[in-house]
Structure 1
Amino acid sequence: MSHSAPSRPRPSVGRVVHYLSHGTPVRDDGTQAFPAQCRAATVTEVDEDDPTRVGLLVHNPTGNFFHPLAAGGSSQDEAKQQPGSWHWPEVV
């Protein structure tokens, strides 16, 4: 009997994901006024050719930010979680 790895969920409109913000530019001393932060986001659209690239509505404490596919969208990055990428929420 072979066991296959569980399939990864595919993003779809309305799903909640985490978006890693860019933060403010890094200063000469290596610090940032506001470092990158993980934020809740709602998927607003999914790229038909690359379902790991999505449009997002990012929920920030000071307001919402739209990151649509037309402006480049956001790509999934589970491993490195680079600023500007999205990933599935961690299991707590």
Structure 2
Amino acid sequence: MSQQPTVGRTVHYVSHGTPVRPDGTQAFPSRCRAAIVTEVPDQPTPDNRVGLQINSPDGPFSHPLSKDGGVPQDEPRPFEDLGEPYAYAGGSWHWPERV
């Protein structure tokens, strides 16, 4: 049985990062950020969308279900599928890795 997101759970949000420049660099690359689940839909969605409060070094921001449809869950995939540095799509959430 897989984990189900519930209000108050800590997850990781993957930022989008800035567009890639012609030389292949980015001003701000995609990064994992700590986030708290603030809402879950009444009916589960195929991509497990949730509302999040994201904690960024520049300050907190949110992605509520009511405003922008929330944030979809992503599954890990090989780095070469998405490019460096993360194996998760920008604008998605995932469970923290076990270390």
TM-score normalised to structure 1 length: 0.86
Q: Which moved more, 1:65-74 or 1:44-53?
A: 44-53
Q: Deviations over 1:32-79 (max 9, x none)?
A: 100000000000111223251001000011200101112121111022
Structure with a larger share of its residues in strand: 1
Aligned residues: 86
Hey, what does 1:89 align to over in structure 2? 96
Hey, what does 2:55 align to over in structure 1? 59
Aligned-pair RMSD on alpha carbons? 1.2
Q: Report which of the two structures shows the higher radius of gyration computed on alpha carbons.
A: 1
Give the alignment of 1:1-92 within 5 angstroms.
Answer: 7-50=1-44, 52-70=48-66, 71-80=68-77, 81-92=88-99
TM-score normalised to structure 2 length: 0.81
Gap runs ≥5 in structure 2 = 78-87
Structure with a larger share of its residues in helix: 2
Instruction: Return structure 1 stretches of 4+ with deviation > 6 angstroms.
Output: none
Gap runs ≥5 in structure 1 = 1-6
